[in-house]
Amino acid sequence: MVVWQLLSLTLTLMVQGGSRDPEVQRRLGARLLATLTALGPCFIKLGQALSTRPDLVRRDWLDQLTRLQDDLPPFDHAIALTTIEADLGAPAATLFGSFPDRPVAAASLGQVYRALLHDGRPVAVKVQRPHLHERLELDLAVIRVLARWAGPFLPLNLGDDLSAIVEEFGTTLFREIDYGLEADNAERFADLFADDPSVVVPAVERAYSSRRVLTTTWLEGCKLQNRSDLERLGLDPTALVRIGVISGLRQLLEFGYFHADPHPGNLFALAGGPDDDGCLGYVDFGMMDMLSNDDRLTLTDAVVHLINRDFAALAHDFVRLGFLHPDTDLSPILPALEEVLGGQLGESVGSFNFRTITDRFSELMFDYPFRVPARFALIIRAVVSQEGLALRLDPDFSIIRVAYPYVARRLLSADTDEMRRKLLDILFDRSGRLQLQRLENLLDVVARDAPPVALLPVAGAGVRLLLGRRGHDLRQRLLLTLVRDGRLHLDDLQALAGLLRRQLDPGRLAGQLLQGLTA
């Protein structure tokens, strides 16, 4: 059955995939969606993985694949009880103070129960689907054979590299079904956010967990799906979206370790938080990934280059990240980058939309030698998924409007060695001259869409850096700027003083703050 459906789909794609008729391509995308859904967990996951690869799959097919839902009917309750007893060594009725007779949710890899421990604490018990490992192995074997045979002939933008993509997908999938690894992931994620009261991570109950059963504390909250539900509970949807975006940025740009599946079913709004607007709870840590330090810093560079509209430097960031081959001639790509990204940025970062950018890049990637490195496929999925959630709860929300000030504040505060080095690279050119326009861009970004007093903590951190022990390199660079060619140059210093007077003028800050309070 599986082989026949896949063969039928593959032959159809090979015969009709090159058609220029939009209606034909729409039907093929719908056929692809329906077939993958019918074939079960492995193929649903494969379709979701392909939906993050605009460099491989046509845009009209991507639109269909993004609709793949990771939910299936629950499997037999008796089988779940058998799995619990086999893995944990005792029946669920003995292990738990109370165990329900039906799950509260079911997905492609397992289903979740709300049970009670003997001390009365509610817990989430996730039980894996039966024979899942064996079924995935069989499905992947079929996919590998088809990839080798049909890969070069399918209308995908990859030549004969489909087998490597399938192997990467298989590795990720088998990590996801190891609940012991997921428990480790959850505890590591919790440690990273231990200092952030706005993010909640359920604790793993190790005594009730195994490779196929995972038990964690139950999060009593509301799924991040409907704005009206959140408001009914007295929670602020916009504040919750902001928490989600900031926590996502911290994962990518600070920790290099991120939750790769932040869809509405895995994010909960809970009461409390620093300002009582609510806090964000993460669940399901099966799909996690890591970024190297080099990638983290290059992503920070890329955001700064977007702030400065430096598309030549941005093209080199794409090379460093692996989206472009080092030998690629960048000259024909620069106008396309400026058209796609510059046009979206416009006069305000508020108009920037990742979903639109992804769609535009899916077109560019067929015309230019872009490739999405495997390590970035999950990042793209996570960012686009998070933006879709944000826009559902707040249609006026812009991720970039939050990301820009976040990066700018980190750079200007220079609270880590790597941020101090990055700040020096931004503020001084190769000849040692101070690049005041870049500093002004960063200050403008911090002040934009925020109260003017938002600049004061940044300015304080800058003064502490300049006068403190960690500011030695910055002071040295400033002195070298002042003394060049054996002469004293005060023009840069005067321009810097003028810039700071304009940005931090007390009268201007007080007036704008008063205007904000009375608006």
- Over residues 344-370, the mean pLDDT reads 61
Contact call for residues 274 and 245 (beta carbons, < 8 A): no
**Ramachandran angles phi, psi of 363, nearest 5°:** -80, -45
Q: How confident is residue 72, by pLDDT bands cut at 50, 70 and 90?
A: confident
Q: Is the pLDDT assigned to residue 353 strictly greater than 70?
A: no
Of the candidates 21, 187, 217, which has an alpha carbon nearest to the alpha carbon of residue 117?
217
More reliable by pLDDT, 393 or 466:
393
Q: How confident is residue 516, by pLDDT bands cut at 50, 70 and 90?
A: very low
Q: Is the pLDDT assigned to residue 115 strictly greater than 50?
A: yes
Q: For the chain, how are helix, strand and coil distributed in percent, rounded to 5?
A: 60, 10, 30
Q: Is the pLDDT assigned to residue 75 strictly greater than 50?
A: yes
Q: DSSP characters for 208-238?
A: G--SSEEEEEPP--EETT-HHHHHHTT--HH
Q: Which of 136-140, 203-207, 438-442 is the least confident region?
A: 438-442
Q: What is the pLDDT of residue 182?
A: 96
Of the candidates 42, 270, 291, which has an alpha carbon nearest to the alpha carbon of residue 170?
42
SS3 179: helix
Say how far apart CA 186 and CA 172 lie, in whole Å: 17
Is residue 261 among the annotated active site residues?
Answer: yes
More reliable by pLDDT, 293 or 151:
293
**DSSP class of 358:** H
Q: What is the pLDDT of residue 505?
A: 61
Q: What is the pLDDT of residue 160?
A: 44
Determine what percent of the chain is predicted with pLDDT higher than 70: 82
Q: Is the pLDDT assigned to residue 296 strictly greater than 80?
A: yes
Q: Is the pLDDT assigned to residue 346 strictly greater than 70?
A: no
Of the candidates 292, 262, 298, which has an alpha carbon nearest to the alpha carbon of residue 390?
262
Determine whether 388 is exposed, middle or buried from the number of CB atoms within 10 Å of its CB (0-12, 13-18, 19+): middle
Determine what percent of the chain is predicted with pLDDT higher than 90: 27
Sketch the domain layout of the chain as residue ranges: 2-71+133-176, 414-518
What is the DSSP pairing of strand 483-484 with strand 288-290?
A: unpaired
User: Could you read off the pLDDT of 456-487 as tens digits, one per residue?
Assistant: 676 677 777 777 777 777 777 777 777 766 66
**Ramachandran angles phi, psi of 282, nearest 5°:** -100, 140
Q: How confident is residue 382, by pLDDT bands cut at 50, 70 and 90?
A: confident
More reliable by pLDDT, 225 or 257:
257
More reliable by pLDDT, 87 or 406:
87
Q: Taken in order 306, 309, 310, 315, is the CA torsion positive or negative?
A: positive
More reliable by pLDDT, 361 or 388:
388
User: Could you read off the pLDDT of 128-183 as tens digits, one per residue?
Assistant: 999 999 999 998 888 888 777 766 666 555 544 667 778 878 888 899 999 999 99
Q: How confident is residue 126, by pLDDT bands cut at 50, 70 and 90?
A: very high
Q: What is the pLDDT of residue 518?
A: 47
Say how far apart CA 478 and CA 463 lie, in whole Å: 14
- Over residues 365-373, the mean pLDDT reads 73
Contact call for residues 426 and 435 (beta carbons, < 8 A): yes
Q: Is the pLDDT assigned to residue 122 strictly greater than 50?
A: yes
Q: Is the pLDDT assigned to residue 203 strictly greater than 90?
A: yes
Active-site residue (options: 55, 139, 236, 261): 261
User: Could you read off the pLDDT of 217-239 as tens digits, one per residue?
Assistant: 999 999 888 888 898 888 999 89
User: Could you read off the pLDDT of 410-422 as tens digits, one per residue?
Assistant: 877 777 788 888 8
- Over residues 258-280, the mean pLDDT reads 87
More reliable by pLDDT, 446 or 35:
35
SS3 282: strand
Residue 92 tokens read as 């669920």
β-partners of residue 37 are none
